[in-house]
Each structure stands twice: as C-alpha cells, then as structure tokens.
C-alpha cells in the first residue's frame, strides 16, 4: 500500500504547485499572469502523467505477482494430487 502512496506523490506536488504558483506570483499585467497560470498547469500536468506512469508500473507489477502466485499454487496442487 505504501508504494501506491509514493506513486501518488508527484500528483500531490503537481496539484500543490498548481494552486500555489498563481497565489504566490506577484500581481503584474495580464500577459505575465497568463504565463503564470500556464506554468502552474504544466506542473500539474507533469505530476498527473508521472503518477499515472508510476501507478501503472506498480499496479502491473502487483498484477503479475498475483497471477504468478496463483499459477504456482495451481501447479503445487496439481503436483500434490499425483
């Protein structure tokens, strides 16, 4: 379970940057404010993509381990019947 929490950390950091960058940016003209919002959105997007990839890797690893364990148990039961 802990590895899933770590896989979600980039999403949390991206979300925090998405909220904090516009809040902490100095109040300037509209053009600079627009670039600030775009930067914040890019940070959020990178965090989402990174978390999605990490969750896919961790999830597939767990899925393959589960299937491998079930196949091994089935093989042990089959050999035990002989």
pLDDT in tens, 16-48: 888 888 888 777 777 777 888 888 888 889 989
Domain total of the chain: 1
Contact status, residue 51 vs residue 10, Cβ threshold 8 Å? yes
What helix, strand, coil percent values describe the chain, rounded to 5? Answer: 90, 0, 10
Residue 27 is part of which domain span?
2-81
Half-sphere exposure of 35 (CA within 13 A, CB side): 6
Q: What is the mean pLDDT of the chain?
A: 84
Q: What is the pTM of this model?
A: 0.66
Least confident range of 12-16, 27-31, 48-52: 27-31
Helix (H, G, I), strand (E, B) or coil at 27: coil
Instruction: Please tell me the distance from the alpha carbon of residue 82 to that of residue 70, in angstroms, as a whole number.
Output: 19
pLDDT at 49: 92
């Amino acid at each position: 379970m802990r590895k899933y929490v770590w896989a979600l950390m980039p999403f949390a950091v991206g979300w925090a940057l998405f909220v904090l960058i516009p809040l902490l940016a100095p109040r300037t003209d509209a053009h600079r404010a627009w670039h600030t919002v775009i930067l914040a959105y890019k940070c959020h997007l990178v965090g989402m993509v990174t978390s999605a990839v990490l969750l896919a890797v961790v999830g597939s690893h767990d899925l393959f381990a589960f299937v491998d364990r079930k196949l091994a148990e089935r093989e042990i039961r089959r050999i035990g019947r002989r």
